[in-house]
Copies of this chain bind each other. A is one copy, B any other.
């Protein structure tokens, strides 16, 4: 396994510190000493990305699609070595890693298929009217072009699907942007293996050198330097609010600010409506005990807040959920830091005024476990204390007992931006659209009678939302439309046809759907 930084096609030695992967299940040191990138490596990688941008963006859609597919193939070829390493570095079971690998390959292949169709180019043509009065109308043609080199930050909780060859990388490469990945320090070996796969694919597909680089750091300085570098045009990040905001602030303070799409998680509020609680309290409790503890609660869509109207039904639900949850075994979290923070923050919640413990899994004397916990509080206390609105990343959820349905609306009003909001209700509960409508103001995705965990990768998915769920509610991090984060429109006025990009010429040789004088059509002009 290569432990040096990958700068274009070259693996380079760095002069400074080293770090290594750790198995969170036993804190054991894993093979490989990874080199923290230095200033020279950061500059060189950015320069190579910039230098190859013109060439890479001119690659044909088909060549770029083949490149994405070849990355998927190369990742598959890594076989069990990748699964084992990812599992060792994250504590996630092999089956989960295999599933996540499937999603990662699917994402790469979905982007390949999408860019072959060409809809992401959004071609629009308004033909000239030379004899228009009082002045002639020029010929205008517009399409989306790639922004430039994109920095992607690997996420700890998706070591494959939102890491080196994850959704952000796939979207940026599909758009025509070179990618610079800052590997997550908790899974350097997984990153190295996937980086090798991308490198092999880039070389065998004759992509220009610089289209991909992979840099290591177990601190913050490499990431900060990348986001501040003048060659960089955009940033994709999935992680904590503190981390995402820090990168956003660096980007906003640049001489030339650049867009940062940071997906920073959420408490994913759930609203239990009265009839549903009467009719299927047990079923809901069972589903939620699973959802809260799925993947040791380490999903950005983990349900961290559950709202219901105080009373016997809610009490029954709370009891049932507590019982189910207490049966769930504590399991290993992604890394020491996450486990420590989870333990601190969940216990800290218990020290807040009015917060009561409902249930907690048994204590087990083992490293880095996430011990599932449910707490409860009343709505008055919830509204008073902003700490209770914060995400506790891990297998934790707090049930907010509201005095009335009207008080539930006040809680919605007080919520910050969220990735998701869930409504559990029967037909009788859902007559009043106010709750749905108010909740839709705060979220990117509204879920009915389900759990927020599980993010379907499809065009109609929205994964993002008002701040602090993300830094820009206008974009999604999941699905083919996530490519929009990394593209910009360029218009051509009175451009001679042979000089136009192929997709904008009169003859529609690529067969891409275009809007021509207001009509959506596959025809040539």
Residues of A within 8 A of B (CB): 53-54, 58, 124-126, 135, 137-138, 140-142, 145, 147-148, 248-249, 252-253, 256-259, 416-417, 427, 430, 433, 436-438, 440-441, 443-450, 454, 456, 458-462, 464, 466-468, 471-474, 476, 481, 484-485, 487-496, 499, 513, 515, 518, 520
Contact = CB atoms under 8 A, between A and B. Distances in A.
A441 B56 CA distance: 13
Contacts of A473: 147, 488
Contact of A138 (B437, B450, B515): B450
A120 to B, nearest CB: 13
Contact of A491 (B125, B427, B462, B484): B462
A422 to B, nearest CB: 9
Contact of A493 (B135, B440, B445, B484): B445
A111 B32 CA distance: 59
A257 B520 contact: no
Contact of A513 (B427, B487, B520): B520
Contact of A440 (B471, B485, B490, B513): B490
Nearest to A148: B441
A125 B448 contact: no
A448 B256 contact: no
Contacts of A518: 459
A437 to B, nearest CB: 7
Given A140-B460, A467-B257, A433 B481 contact: no
Contacts of A491: 444-446, 460-462
A233 to B, nearest CB: 8
A494 B252 contact: no
A257 B513 CA distance: 36
Contacts of A437: 54, 58
A490 B445 contact: yes
Contacts of A488: 444, 466, 473-474
Nearest to A417: B256
A172 to B, nearest CB: 14
A450 B493 contact: yes
Which 4 A-B pairs rank lowest in CB-CB distance, beginning with the nearest?
Answer: A252-B252, A462-B491, A140-B460, A142-B460
A119 to B, nearest CB: 9
Contacts of A487: 474
A188 to B, nearest CB: 30
17 contacts: A54-B437, A124-B459, A126-B459, A137-B456, A140-B456, A147-B473, A249-B252, A256-B416, A256-B467, A443-B490, A446-B495, A448-B494, A448-B495, A449-B494, A462-B489, A474-B487, A474-B488
A258 B474 CA distance: 11
A253 B250 CA distance: 11
A312 to B, nearest CB: 27
A230 to B, nearest CB: 11
Contacts of A515: 459
Given A140-B460, A252-B249, A489 B481 contact: yes
A38 to B, nearest CB: 27
B471 A257 contact: yes
Contacts of A458: 126, 137, 140
- Listed residue (A468, A489, A515) with the most chain B CB atoms within 10 angstroms of its CB: A489
A436 B464 CA distance: 36
B433 A499 contact: yes
A447 to B, nearest CB: 4
Contacts of A53: 441
A492 B513 CA distance: 27
B446 A138 contact: no
B492 A446 contact: yes
